A = this chain, B = another copy of it.
């Protein structure tokens, strides 16, 4: 489904929906209570979704920014996900959930098992197979996907994740091997598994190795733009045929400089530039 959407739109890109009120245009700053703030967030997010829907194949709403506002924000995350789907967008829910057994099943139920659930979910794989399997099973049963965090894009990730075994294998490679195994039972017609991986664009040398370990995983790639990675840095995340990755940008699109005083025109230009920038490397 994701690959078809990428083909249709012509570029493997995703816009992250990280609604941070303090970065939004002036007109969204008049909310003084939770209800007012959420109303502005909803208006902004709907505007972004409508603007980017003709340009990009996917969006990635970030749960934390909605959950921050409590139950009403939690609800809005799902409402906006549904709205994005109605606009023809693939929705990758970025909630980074993770736990074990029946607890993981409960998270999977709401994030991947309901009619209004997003099309995919980011999942923390630190718990191992009995933590990840409930998410994979629910995704698989509902034609959805998961992206397991393998190598994150933040600077602090290195000190934790680049931990080497005697033979030189890094911890993130060890985790990647497991992800490849976990995904092996659910490979679709496209040749890719419904089990993908999060691999930061900020570490291209590592991405190259991970691409070899996980040939059948779609990579969800954060780190472009505000976090410092360029389109060139993202190239290692793709297979040789130019498929197998989707590059995310959030801040540099959402909070782009307005064009002739129009913030939506600014978002539109930034989304087009981003999509083109990534299409150029393939």
Which A residues between 71 and 126 are near B, CB-CB below 8 angstroms? Answer: 71-72, 74-75, 78, 96-104, 106-107, 109-110, 124-126
Q: Name the contact of A154 in the complex, choosing from B100, B149, B166, B174 (C-beta under 8 A).
A: B100
Q: Is the CB of B158 within 8 A of A128?
A: yes
- Asked if A279 is an interface residue, CB under 8 A from chain B, the answer is no
Q: Is the CB of A124 within 8 A of B124?
A: yes
Interface stretch among A45-53, A60-68, A207-215? A60-68
Q: Name the contact of A165 in the complex, choosing from B18, B103, B165 (C-beta under 8 A).
A: B165
Q: Is the CB of A155 within 8 A of B130?
A: yes
Distance between A19 CB and nearest chain B CB, rounded to angstroms: 10
Tell me, in angstroms, the Cα distance from A100 to B223 when the chains sit together. 12
Q: Is the CB of B124 within 8 A of A65?
A: no
- Asked if A4 is an interface residue, CB under 8 A from chain B, the answer is no
What band does the interface of chain A fall in when counting residues whose beta carbon is under 8 Å from B? 35 or more
Q: Name the contact of A171 in the complex, choosing from B20, B102, B171 (C-beta under 8 A).
A: B171
Tell me, in angstroms, the Cα distance from A100 to B100 when the chains sit together. 22
Q: Which residues of B contact A282 (CB under 8 A)?
A: none
Q: Which residues of B contact A125 (CB under 8 A)?
A: 160
Q: A128-B157, A130-B155 are in contact. Are A110 and B75 (CB under 8 A)?
A: no
Which A residues between 135 and 185 are near B, CB-CB below 8 angstroms? Answer: 149, 152-161, 163-166, 171, 174-175, 178
Tell me, in angstroms, the Cα distance from A220 to B154 when the chains sit together. 27
Q: Which residues of B contact A100 (CB under 8 A)?
A: 152-154, 156-157
- Asked if A129 is an interface residue, CB under 8 A from chain B, the answer is yes
Q: Is the CB of A110 within 8 A of B175?
A: no
Distance between A60 CB and nearest chain B CB, rounded to angstroms: 12
6 of the cross-chain contacts (CB-CB < 8 Å) are: A98-B124, A128-B156, A128-B157, A130-B154, A130-B155, A163-B165
